[in-house]
Amino acid sequence: MSTKIKRSGTFTDNMKLPIHRWFRYSAGFSAEWVEQEIIKYQSDTGNDAILLDPFLGSGTTCFAADTLGVKSFGFDGHPFVTRVAKAKSCWHLPAEDFLSHCQSILSLAETYSFNTTRHETNQLLGKCYSPGALQKLDYLKKAYEDLCTNDAVWRLVWLNITSIIRACSHAGTAQWQYVLPNKSKSKVIDPFDGFWAKALLMSEDMNHVQHIGWKPNCKIEELDVRQSIHANKCNLVITSPPYPNNFDYADATRLEMTFWGEIDGWGDLKTAVRPSIMRSCSQHSAGDKVILDELLSSAELEPIKDDIFKVTKALDEIRHTKGGKKAYHTMIAAYFYDLSKIWLNIRNATVDGAKVCFVIGDSAPYGIHVPAEKWLAQIALHHGFKGFSFEKLRDRNVKWKNRTHTVPLHEGRLWVEG
Ligand SMILES: C[S@@+](CC[C@H](N)C(=O)[O-])C[C@H]1O[C@@H](n2cnc3c(N)ncnc32)[C@H](O)[C@@H]1O
C-alpha cells in the first residue's frame, strides 16, 4: 500500500492544499481522498452526490465537495472548531477586500502602545509567549475587536489571527496539538509578520480556487449530532468520528480559546465545549456520573450488549490494579451509546441505498481490546443499514518504545451500505 494511501486518514497532505491549509487540525483526514471518493460515487451510481459529514472538524469534506461544486452538509459540536470551518467557507469572498481588511487591522495594531497586555494574568498565555509576542498578538486582537462588524469578511480576518496563534508561541506542541508550555520549539514567528504573511497566502488561495472554478455549495452548522441532524436525502456520508480513547477534542483548541477570552483554563472546557461533543476520552466521561449498568441495559447498546458487557466489566476490574484508576469502563460504554444515537440520526438523514464511510481506529485502554469498527458496524446494521466491509489503512501502536500496552491496533475505513 502506498504511503499516500496510508496517509489518507491524516491531515498531513492537506497542508499543501489551498483553503485546507489555513488551519492545521491534526485530527483531520485527506481532502484529496474525499474528492476521489465523491467522483467515484458519482461515476458508479450516476447520481449527483449529496454529502453529509456529521463530524466535520475543520471542514475537509465540505471543501473537497466545493472543489467539485457538490452539495454538502457539515456539522460539528465543537463551537470553536465549527467557527474555524465556517470561516474557511468564506473562501469565495473577494480576495482584495479581505486583504484590505487585513491591512487596516495591521495599520491600527501598529498604532497601539498600551504598556501591559490584557492577558498578563492568564497563566497559560504567560507561559506560552514572550511579553513582546503576546503584546503584538493582543494588539491584533484589539484592532479586530475595534473594527469588526457582522460582515462575513471579518470571519476570515478572525481566522487569520487564530491560525497564527501557535506559530507565534515558543511552546511546543504534542502529537495531537496539545500545547506543552515547558517544551520549547526553535522557530517562532513575529505576530505582525505572521499575520501579514498569512493574509497574503489566504488571498492568494482565494484568488486561485475562484479562478479554477470551486463552487460554494456547503452548509456548515454547529450541532451536537446526538440531537437530530438537520439534513435529509443525503446519499453519501464521509466522516471520521472521535476514536475511542484517542484524543481529547475539547482540549485541542485550549490555547486559541484562551487567547480569545472564551475560556480561562482547562476547567472551563467542561462547560464551554464538553456538553456538545460525544464522550470519547476518560477526561470527559469521568465527571459525567455515568452509571454503567444503565448504559449497558439501554436500547442503544442492545446490538453489542454481550461483548461490551464483558469488556467494560474487565475494564472496571483492572482499573483497581492501576495507579490512575481511570474510568475507561464508563467511557467505553458512553462512547458506543453516543455513537448509537448518532448512527440512528445518520440513518434518518440519508436515503435508502446511501453509502457511508467512517474513518475509524480501535483501541485498547489498559491493554483490553475494544474492536471499534466491528461494534460500530453491528450498531449500524441494527439501525437499518444493510451491509458493511472494513478496509485497513495502517497499523497503530507499533512505533513507540514507551507504549502503555502491546495490543496491535489499526485504523481504516468502515464502509456501510444501505
Ligand atoms: C476526527 S475529527 C474530524 C476531523 C475532520 N474529518 C477534518 O478533516 O477536519 C472528529 C470531530 O468530531 C467532533 N465531534 C465530537 N462529538 C461530536 C458531536 N456529538 N456532534 C458533532 N461533532 C462532534 C469533534 O469536535 C471533532 O472535530
Taking CA atoms only, the protein residue closest to ligand 1 atom 20 is 224
Ligand 1 mean position, distance from CA 134 (Å): 30
pLDDT value at residue 403: 63
225 in contact with ligand 1, CB cutoff 6 A: yes
Dihedral of CA 343/178/413/63: which sign? positive
Q: Using the mean position of ligand 1's atoms as its centre, give its distance from the Cα of residue 233 in Å.
A: 21
Say yes or no to pLDDT of 406 above 60. Answer: yes
**Residue closest to 269 by CA, chosen among 54, 120, 126, 77:** 77
How far, in Å, from the CA of 49 to the mean position of ligand 1? 21
Tell which atom from ligand 1 comes closest to the C-alpha of 85. 9
C-alpha angle 326-328-330 in degrees, rounded to nearest 5: 115
Residue that wins the pLDDT comparison between 157 and 15:
157
* Contacts for 145 with CB less than 8 Å, ≥ 6 apart: none
pLDDT at 119 over 90: no
In ligand 1, the atom with minimum distance to the C-alpha of 55 is 12
Q: Is the CB of 240 under 6 A from ligand 1?
A: yes
Cα 28 to averaged position of ligand 1 atoms, centre (Å): 9
* pLDDT tens, residue by residue, 42-91: 999 999 999 999 999 999 999 999 999 999 999 999 999 999 999 999 99
Ligand 1 contact, 29 CB (< 6 A): yes
CA proximity to 65, closest of 48, 78, 90: 48
Question: How far is ligand 1, taken at its centre, from the CA of residue 322, in Å?
Answer: 30
Name which residue sits closest to atom 15 of ligand 1, judged by CA: 277
Highest mean pLDDT of the ranges 141-155, 170-184, 398-412: 141-155
Residue pLDDT, tens place only, 311-364: 999 999 999 998 888 999 999 999 999 999 999 999 999 999 999 999 999 999
Rg of the chain taking only CA atoms, in angstroms: 22
Q: Which three cell numbers stand for residue 207?
A: 484568488
Q: Give the atom of ligand 1 at the shortest distance from the alpha carbon of 31.
A: 8
CA–CA separation, 30 and 407 (whole Å): 27
Residue 27 Cβ inside 6 Å of ligand 1? The answer reads: yes
pLDDT in the model for residue 276? 97
For residue 244, the model assigns a pLDDT of: 94
| Ligand 1 centroid – CA 76 distance (Å) | 5
**Contact residues for 173 (Cβ-Cβ < 8 A; gap 6+):** 166, 179, 180, 185
Ligand 1 within 6 A of CB of 76: yes
Q: What is the mean pLDDT of the chain?
A: 92
Q: Compute the average pLDDT of residues 208-229.
A: 97
The whole-number pLDDT of residue 180 equals: 81
DSSP 8-state assignment for residue 370: B
CA 77 to ligand 1 center in whole angstroms: 7
Nearest CA to ligand 1 atom 26: 57
Alpha carbon of 97 to ligand 1 centroid (Å): 31
**Ligand 1 nearest-atom number relative to CA 359:** 1
| Residue 120 confidence (pLDDT) above 60 | no
Closest CA to 175 of 286, 24, 16: 24
Whether the CB of 249 sits within 6 Å of ligand 1:
yes
Pocket lining: 28 vs ligand 1, CB cutoff 6 Å: yes
For residue 278, pLDDT beyond 70: yes
Which pLDDT score is estimated for 8? 67
What is residue 288's predicted lDDT score, i.e. its pLDDT?
58
